[in-house]
Amino acid sequence: MVVVTLQRDKCIGCNYCVEVAPEQFQMSKKDGKSVLLRSTEKKGFFTLKSHDDNILEPCEAAQKACPVKIISTKKI
């Protein structure tokens, strides 16, 4: 299982995550911040749990590209 977490309130809207992982991230038209698709929110953290290992590599690339380091990706 792959677990991806986004701390959305600290997003600066750079769009890097969308560029490298468009299947998992998109930019909100309302506030210009990143949205982790199909995620659940708890205390400002948006979490996606997926059994699809194919999302691991693009999400790791998004994590590395993020200048404010608000994306975490792990395989459990």
The pLDDT assigned to 46 comes to 98
Predicted TM-score of the model (pTM): 0.95
Q: What are phi and psi of 13, to 5 degrees?
A: 75, 30
The one-letter amino acid code at 11 reads C
Helix, strand, coil fractions of the chain, as percent rounded to 5: 30, 35, 40
The count of domains in the chain is 1
Note the pLDDT tens digit of each residue in 35-72. Answer: 999 999 999 999 999 999 999 999 999 999 999 999 99
The pLDDT assigned to 8 comes to 97
CATH number of the domain residue 62 falls in: 3.30.70.20
Domain range for 14 is 2-75
